[in-house]
Amino acid sequence: MSAPFEVLLYYKYCRIADPDAYADEHRKLCYQLGLKGRILIAAEGINGTVSGTAENCKKYRETLDEDPLTAEIAWKIDPSEEHVFSKLSIKVRDEVVTLGLGEEDFSPEELTATHLKPAEWKEAIKEDNIVLIDARNDYEWEVGRFEGAMLPPVASFRDMPKWVRDHRDELEGKKILTYCTGGIRCEKFSGFLLKEGLEDVYQLDGGIVTYGKDPEAKGEGFEGECYVFDERLTVPVNRTEGAKLVSTCVSCGLPSIRYRNCLWQPCNAQFIVCEECEEKSGRYCDPICKEVHRMGTAAEFTP
């Protein structure tokens, strides 16, 4: 029996003439279909992840597929027993993923690296003289990443250009393979690498999510789980016998993939904690947060 709900992950770089008007119409469509999730719309395209009944998710896909503007979306579809979002959020932004290049900005429709299908990626990551770059934020790769990847310690995608320029010597002359959750960030990031003069650049087509579903690749080479921006928080990727966890509980150091938000609201940082340690010490990312919260003070403090 098929699951009653679906979770959709998708993006499309396309020219949207009036993002505000498009967002209004899109909001009406999602409300009509009872969809919940997060959708970003900009002049350069659309980036979304939503959940809904399987029937209504199908109607949503058909509607976008029939629109010349958003035709040929590569949908990532997960079955679900329920909604994985509590509400619908549709926002208009300057960029669908914020790299923050300003006047140096460009469209992936004009410049992006070669896509490698999962089977091609599986072989490419075994080659010598390659550099694997995780194009996600640090809290994402903490719970899962490809073995041997460079892990930029960035809290925001907009910090990636500086990281690249700071590590130029490590990238020069290498075959660069870059990956992200569903592919949208690599469309822009790989184009930026090319723009910076790094010539041998490739990206994982469809991202980690597609790689994990591919019947040939089976997620091989990926360690841990993939962080996702919904109530599931993580999803499995590696379906081979070599699968293993790489993230550990912040308190005891044992393997864990349980993300929680720090109970002290001024912090609210996401961190990994096992069930036993959460029961023992509460949902705090750091003993200082627990003490400050207990004292009831909001003194200037950066966790």
Active site residue ranges: 180
Torsional sign, CA 45, 50, 52, 55? positive
Looking at the chain, which runs of residues are DSSP E strands? 5-13, 36-42, 45-53, 76-80, 88-92, 114-116, 130-134, 144-146, 175-179, 201-204, 222-227, 234-236, 259-261, 270-272
- The contacts of residue 253 (CB under 8 Å, 6+ apart) are none
Neighbours of 236 (CB within 10 A): 14
How does DSSP classify residue 125?
T
Neighbours of 256 (CB within 10 A): 21
Q: How far apart are CA 246 and CA 279, in angstroms?
A: 22
How does DSSP classify residue 113?
P
For residues 289, 293, 295, 301, the Cα torsion angle rounded to the nearest 10 degrees is: 50
Long-range CB contacts (< 8 A, 24+ apart) of 136-139?
136/180, 136/181, 136/185, 136/227, 139/227, 139/270
